[in-house]
Structure 1
């Protein structure tokens, strides 16, 4: 019964977190967006003390149920492992913990967090790892399915569905997501929770705490017949049948051992119900490594807490204009609410949730080392509309802080820069007013080239009023580079 309850809860969390990445309408986020915000590292980075305390309390009370129920990457591995078990049952066996590897990666992860080296901690953080897989591999499949339904519905004179653009936002991020998927699938297929108990830094931290959990699986030695079914079904490889011990730092509280035991020798109960021999053995095994690694674990908790382009047609839609190219910006543009580039670097785990839900197609993963896979803004497919605050609503780490619609138009994330050589007025001697007409803040005015009343006009940017929304860059008819583009600000301003 305990295992069935866990599986139901894990399935509930896993499906809905996956749908958060798939949903492009924003409907699901209104109800279940909190699921992304209760993930361990995002809650730490958002300084959400309440969530962190609850997760720690759950671990100290019940063991690593976070890893087996709430973490989508853990449930994903369980799903792969369950599929593999249909071909080969009782396939696991006990193996000693690789503590040097676990704590070495944890220390690396901690240092990367403290120093803000996003290219390291974004790859190791489990929620974001699953997010990249979902947003880069699952989302396109989901959108193609949606577009097929939209096509069929249209033929039936129904508009219950509408088609959306399916495009690769970053070839590099897509490659990393594909490699991650394959590696995790192979590890889970062969060895169950190997990744969680050798690489995942969150698993290491919670594993340290779970040594002291109140409820935990335990042997009743008088009933054990030594069949080994518990160990052969333990995907964490943490049950030593010969010595009747369990390495609780690796146990993910999946309850497989309890369900598979035919002699009722495995129970999930308070520590006092376990055998004295087992408790003594566990304490002896755990104390030395606990002393050696306590500082690194404390450092993580304490120090982290302190810390195809949009096509436009002319001539009645018969001619397609050349795709736009991304201009070279001295400073990348980060979304309103992110406060500054530095804040984004230190808090974003590159989960890709904001990229997935952006309805304007302006967010994409960065390929720069300093901000690797974190979101950047670019305006080839759209611009940042004043009425949209979707990215700030879904961000689980406060890398993009929640903002209101009436606040957004006063946040200056960058300013427009006019490139004389690219402008069709100067280059082709034709009249154009696109940038001035579409600027939502009136920051662009047209000034005549000469005193002649019929003179062509060119744009002049008032950088004090420009908020960097990118409407001018997106709607500029110049190709392949816009004649006006947005240069980002290191720190956002309020105008």
Structure 2
């Protein structure tokens, strides 16, 4: 029963992940795109702490079910192993126990980590399971899918139906195609002959999860009293991790496929918790769980201070520009009115959902609200601060009122603008301006093909800060907002 449940979930995950690579309409990603985000390595590189913690906890409880259910390359190897058995002369007895090659496993993991840290992403991609499957799906499965679609479109058109439409099938990269072919062939040979050899010798994710699964709460256990040493379990174990002579299962290599349970007719194998654990092992496990918990808590805290793009490239914090006039919230009428009425209770600061308001450090306006856009911008649909102010320093306004209140205007800083400094097209400020106050024009009026730069319509700009916040220039934005002493209606 457990094996059938595992097969059902594995088939569903494999099919949906594969369809994400095959889908040329873009419809499936809205529904099942999360399956790509729960892959272990992408989650680690994206610093997606929630997913990583989920997979770690799942492994500590259930063992390496990730490798046999969620990982598409792991499921593909199972398919290859099943096909390989069909071509074996001794179909019923294809596998045998082999000791773990720890030096190779941890050596490959070390090479993988060094490649990531040193920036050799191509080498890391060669070893990464999800990347490997992506290349195979993109170069093998996708063309077959598209050709099948085009064939259906051909017959549908002649039948007077346009339910299908033709798509272009083309080779995106010869080098990638060759690597995909080599990867597929190596996996087919290894899986067809020895099952999960790749998972337990090369795969860095398998090595990490294998280390964790040594301490898993549930695992495959053999009861010596019931075992008659028929070896059916060992000879059907794709991970080659069952030592029938010692009645032991190597939990670090076991992918919890449940094949052994299905084959044992004496009920000697079960998926359960260890009944008798040596005191030293208990102490080791306790220390491991303690360290894991501390690391998990620390990771959650550190995630709020993310400094890397995917954990690889450094992201420089934005800095607040030197404004000649500070910016105060819509509804405050201006700096003077706010200063006269504000009690600095900071209720408005606490309810600001966009992290735009913060207490001022100016001695003349100490702790009164001031606006800055390095963490967010003042969205036109938000009126929270005007709703909560108890002193009338920020008067109640509607969403329609806010879209017409000019609290400042954008100013372009030529020296920071990416089209001029890096020679790259940008236009982020113009695309995201909610009132269309910014237009991109050629930097040289005589040359229409010159890099385009922003021009601000000061009369239309409301000073919301979307341009400043979303500008990719670091540490100072190439466009920033100057406040107005008195707010205007535009």
- If the length of structure 1 is used for normalisation, what is the TM-score? 0.61
Taking the aligned partners of 2:312 and 2:92, their CA distance within structure 1 comes to 44
**2:440–2:452 CA contact under 8 A, matched in 1:** no
Q: What runs of 5+ residues in structure 1 fail to find an aligned partner?
A: 308-339, 348-409, 417-439, 449-457, 467-488
Q: Map 1:38-117 onto structure 2 (within 5 A).
A: 38-87=38-87, 88-117=91-120
Q: Which has the larger radius of gyration?
A: 2
Q: What residue is the counterpart of 2:229 in the other structure? A: 226
Q: What runs of 5+ residues in structure 2 fail to find an aligned partner?
A: 314-416, 426-437, 456-471, 480-490
Q: 1:248 to 1:30 in 2, by over 3 A?
A: same
Q: What residue is the counterpart of 2:155 in the other structure? A: 152
* RMSD across aligned positions (CA): 3.9
**2:46–2:311 CA contact under 8 A, matched in 1:** no
Taking the aligned partners of 1:411 and 1:151, their CA distance within structure 2 comes to 47
Taking the aligned partners of 2:85 and 2:473, their CA distance within structure 1 comes to 51
Highest relative contact order (Cα 8 Å, sep 6+), 1 or 2?
1
Of residues 312, 322, 329, the one that matches 1:346 is: 312
Q: 1:257 to 1:137 in 2, by over 3 A?
A: same
**2:442–2:453 CA contact under 8 A, matched in 1:** no
- Secondary structure at the aligned position of 1:459 is classed as coil
Q: What residue is the counterpart of 2:14 in the other structure? A: 14
**1:245–1:281 CA contact under 8 A, matched in 2:** no
C-alpha displacement at 1:306, in angstroms?
7.6
Q: What residue is the counterpart of 1:415 in the other structure? A: 424
Matched residue count:
338
**2:443–2:453 CA contact under 8 A, matched in 1:** no
- Secondary structure at the aligned position of 1:141 is classed as helix
Taking the aligned partners of 2:46 and 2:154, their CA distance within structure 1 comes to 41
Q: What residue is the counterpart of 2:26 in the other structure? A: 26
**2:68–2:75 CA contact under 8 A, matched in 1:** yes
Q: 1:124 to 1:494 in 2, by over 3 A?
A: farther
Q: What residue is the counterpart of 1:269 in the other structure? A: 272
Q: 1:491 to 1:170 in 2, by over 3 A?
A: farther
Taking the aligned partners of 1:23 and 1:81, their CA distance within structure 2 comes to 27
Q: 1:283 to 1:187 in 2, by over 3 A?
A: farther
C-alpha displacement at 1:42, in angstroms?
0.6
Taking the aligned partners of 1:2 and 1:228, their CA distance within structure 2 comes to 20
Q: 1:244 to 1:490 in 2, by over 3 A?
A: farther
Of residues 127, 134, 139, the one that matches 2:137 is: 134
**1:247–1:282 CA contact under 8 A, matched in 2:** no
